[in-house]
Amino acid sequence: MKKILAGLLGLAMLGSFTACASDAGNEPANTTAAAGGDTTTAAAAESKLPSEEGEITIKISWWGGDSRHEATQNAINAFMAKNPNIKVETNFGAWSGWEDAMSTSFYAGTAPDVNQVNWNWIENYSGDGSVFLDMNTVSEYFDLSTYSESALNQCVVADELQAIPVSMTGRIFYWNKSTFDKAGIDTPKSLADLMAAGETFKTKLGDDYYPLALGEYDRAILMVYYLESVYGKAWVENGKLNYTEEEIAKGLEFIESLEAAHVTPTIATILGDGAESLDKNPKWMDGKYAGIFEWDSSASKFGKALNEGQEFIVGDYFKDMGSYQGGFAKVSLAFAISENTKYPAECAMLLNFLLNEPEGTAIMASERGIPLSTAALETCKSQNLLNEMVAEANGKVLAWVDYPLDTQFENAALKGNPDGVYYDVFGGLSYDEYTPAEAAKILAEGVTEVLNG
């Protein structure tokens, strides 16, 4: 049934995309980005010119929570007021099922003109440069100089700058302090604190209360954080899985221990809540689920979803997880222009307004994380627009994590819901369909298959 629903959602979203209705370094970047950071010797790209049609329509898509939707719509409205000849149609929604629909539209050539994309989508869907436009061709309309060379190079594939990175992000703990206060304990500062909190919640608050809520993909990321902390090596290195099945099994046993200690509910319990995403889950809203392990660029929607009178705070990394500082940072998301758009210059103008210009960036603020654009960052700082919690979390992430994220970690074959390997492994483990050893074998084989192409 989950597969059928996911398929129907994908078709519905694809239809809306094709219809005509309706969240690095500091060195300055040159205006042309090329692979390997050699921006000074990059071949000049053919420049795109504005349309001569008069009034035109372009489409933009993104996923996120309600606060991101509101900010982006407001910024787009401001852009249209400034550019009355450009009408912008929008398509947005929650993450669930989003990549399935987008991948279909990328392959079919029917994607919107401008798309919010995950970092790995560039390699997965446009490895030859055929799906996303080289932003060097519209550098007259999008100011690349506000980005560091190293930041832009994160989005160079096939020697083309195929997207603009918005921010860097990593996962960190967040807590509903009010629920922990209700239980009579402090928010966890260590793994030992977290493990002890499970029994305290159960005894003092009841069986429906948990210190931490983790979906399948959350568990995959937390397991890697644990393994990197214990073993001191990246999950993937030089395109190869860097862990044995026995080591992975230890990580899966750790995840099992969280359920056993009443730290996190089972997958069956979370699915039984009937919410499309955790921030819309009533048990999160009313404080029964009192913690998350989430991207710093996405956490604001969880705080805003809480019922009135609850305090949402940034947590810390656990130093007793292991001898090393596990965890990773990545480009949180990016914006790409479709290669086949009729209006590349106007699309670049829209992105420049959203990501660089003072009016647009003041509206967008930190809804997609702390901006990598120096212009956007200056606007947000000067107007005190940065979400303090996002800034605090991002600072903690970038100061702590030691490991890179492999571009294939978020491959749809692994991350896709409900068919991805992560969902199979961590769902099966939670439902007692697999032992840790069996789940480790499936996970290792699935990751290796993706890495081998």
HEC readout, the chain: CHHHHHHHHHHHHHHHHHCCCCCCCCCECCCCCCHHHCHHHCCCCCCCCCCCCCCEEEEEEEECCHHHHHHHHHHHHHHHHHCCCEEEEEEEECCCCHHHHHHHHHHHCCCCCEEEECCCHHHHHHCCCCCECCHHHHCCCCCHHHCEHHHHHCCEECCEECCEEEEEEEEEEEEEHHHHHHHCCCCCCCHHHHHHHHHHHHHHCCCCCECCCCCHHHHHHHHHHHHHHHHCCCCEECCEECCCHHHHHHHHHHHHHHHHCCCCCCHHHHHHCCCCCHHHCHHHHCCCECEEEEECCCCHHHHHHCCCCCCEEECCCCHHHCCCCCCEEEEEEEEEEECCCCCHHHHHHHHHHHHCCHHHHHHHCCECECCCCHHHHHHHHHCCCCCHHHHHHHHHHHHHCCEECCCCCCCHHHHCCCCCHHHHHHHHHHCCCCCHHHHHHHHHHHHHHHHCC
> Please, what is the average pLDDT of the chain?
90
Q: Which fold has domain 170-329+402-451?
A: D-Maltodextrin-Binding Protein; domain 2 (3.40.190)
Indicate the CATH number for domain 52-169+331-398: 3.40.190.10
On the question of pLDDT at 2 being above 50, the answer is: no
- Residue 300 vs residue 114, higher pLDDT: 114
pTM score above 0.85: no
- pLDDT per residue over 148-203, tens digit each? 998 999 999 999 999 999 999 999 999 999 999 999 999 999 999 999 999 999 99
On the question of pLDDT at 41 being above 60, the answer is: no
pLDDT > 90: percent of the chain: 82
- The residue-averaged pLDDT of 427-453 equals 98
Q: How far apart, in Å, are the Cα atoms of 236 and each of 2, 233, 249, 322, 403?
A: 30, 8, 16, 19, 10
Residue with tokens 């007793």: 320
Q: Residue 76: what pLDDT?
A: 99
Q: Residue 231: what pLDDT?
A: 98
Given a contact cutoff of 8 angstroms between Cβ atoms, the answer to whether 235 and 224 are in contact is yes
Domain ranges in the chain are 52-169+331-398, 170-329+402-451
User: Do 52-169+331-398 and 170-329+402-451 agree at the fold level?
Assistant: yes
Strands 312-314, 160-161: pairing kind: unpaired
- pLDDT per residue over 324-372, tens digit each? 999 999 999 999 999 999 999 999 999 999 999 999 999 999 999 999 9
Is omega for the bond preceding 50 within 30 degrees of 0, making it cis? no
